[in-house]
Chain A
Amino acid sequence: MRIAKVILVAVGATLTAPLALAGDTPEEDRKETVEYFQQKFPDVPLEEFVNGQYALDEDRRKQWESMSDFPPFEFAVAEGQEMFETPFANGKTYASCFENDGIGVRQNYPYFDTEKKEVITLELAINRCREANGEEPLKWKKGPIASISAYMASTSAGKKFDIEVPNDDALAAYQAGKEFYYTRRGQLNFSCASCHVQNPGNWIRADLLSPMLGQVANFPVHRAKWGEMGTLHRRFTGCNRNVRAVPLEAQGEEYRNLEYFMTYLNNGLPVVGPATRP
């Protein structure tokens, strides 16, 4: 970590004259994060980090590759497409709510809405679209919303994440997400970083810990443990529970800010959701 910082400062100093303090900006955070994980895992190509544990362990990767002919999320993608294309009672469709009719846009989510001053995740946008068209919102963690999100991600496969932090309000949301990621919670006293920054590549029982870099890029996921699809906020809930912390509201401000911070770090990395995980 310190080495990464020194290298970055040295490189930066030769390129630009008045360099902001290292780590002051999201972009500095992102560069240092990339540097940190590349030093930790020198054999893993940068683009591979989006595959989480499969980038770190050969056996797990082989099991994963053997599933790729019949991925368990295929049904959800098909179902999601059907729902996405079926008009609401008012005759409009989801396409009317999104840029480019909602095709190939996953890499821009979540984004910061400078008027509403809040982070808009893809799932939030899906439900707001429904409500704007007189439909009931969907439940946040699984089922139809995960399928629609999976379909939309599938149309964005390979596109590079491009999350922006447009103003100070957005920066505050980013910082709040960062603080959440690094603060220890629950009776077991773990932060997200305890596992995914300090211990990626290590095992907790039969679970292989994934690196922070690339997390989020694969959502929504079909987990063997769930036996079905789930959204990122469903996963957040589970992580919090594991450390005996009371989970927060799915799509509440805290989790949306967390998602914003985590996804920003993936800028330049490809969308690989939907995906499968143990």
Chain B
Amino acid sequence: MYKPLLILTASLALSLPALSQAGAKEDFNEVYSKVESTHNQAGTYQWTTTANQLKAAKEAADSGDYEKALEMAEQALKYAEQSLEQRKQQQEKWPAVAIGN
């Protein structure tokens, strides 16, 4: 009676590493495209820090290490978001420090 359940559990346990790797790849691709779009939205306010981090994340993904790639992409996303925030803030704040404003 318990046999099917046992088999199911066992097969799940066996496929878990592959599943998590596949999950990381999907997660990475999702975060990566989010970084790209945020980085693009930053326009002329892009950071080299983001660009370098994005490149390193891509390299990790190309070598198949999606766990590491995901971690790096998440950091890149933080950089990109901060650069976008800088763009929004600076467009309002700059006249306060300008000569002749």
Contact = CB atoms under 8 A, between A and B. Distances in A.
A and B touch in the complex (CB under 8 A): yes
Contacts of A186: 47-48
A4 B98 CA distance: 13
A76 B49 CA distance: 35
Q: What's the dominant secondary structure at chain B's contact region?
A: helix
B86 A185 contact: yes
B98 A246 contact: no
A179 B47 CA distance: 18
B2 interface: no
B63 interface: no
Given A1-B99, A29-B99, A197-B99, A183 B94 contact: yes
Assign chain B's interface to a size class.
20 to 34
B100 A245 contact: no
Nearest to A241: B48
B44 A29 contact: no
Contacts of A79: none
Interface in A189-215: 189, 191, 193, 197-198
B25 to A, nearest CB: 28
A246 B51 CA distance: 8
A28 interface: yes
Given A183-B91, A184-B86, A185-B86, A178 B48 contact: no
A191 B83 CA distance: 14
A22 B100 CA distance: 7
Contacts, number: 65
Assign chain A's interface to a size class.
20 to 34
Contacts of A248: 44
A220 to B, nearest CB: 24
A187 interface: yes
B48 A246 contact: yes
A244 B99 contact: no
Contact of B100 (A23, A185, A191): A23
A259 interface: no
Interface in B38-87: 44-49, 51, 79, 82-83, 86
B94 A245 contact: no
A254 interface: yes
Interface in A1-52: 1, 4, 22-23, 28-29, 32-33, 36
A29 B100 contact: yes
**Ranked 9 nearest A-B pairs via Cβ:** A23-B100, A29-B100, A246-B46, A183-B90, A182-B94, A187-B49, A182-B98, A32-B100, A183-B94
7 contacts: A23-B100, A29-B99, A183-B94, A184-B90, A197-B97, A244-B47, A246-B48
Given A28-B100, A185-B45, A246-B51, 19 more contacts: A1-B99, A4-B99, A23-B101, A29-B100, A33-B99, A33-B100, A179-B94, A182-B98, A183-B45, A183-B94, A184-B94, A186-B48, A189-B86, A191-B90, A197-B97, A198-B97, A245-B45, A246-B48, A254-B44
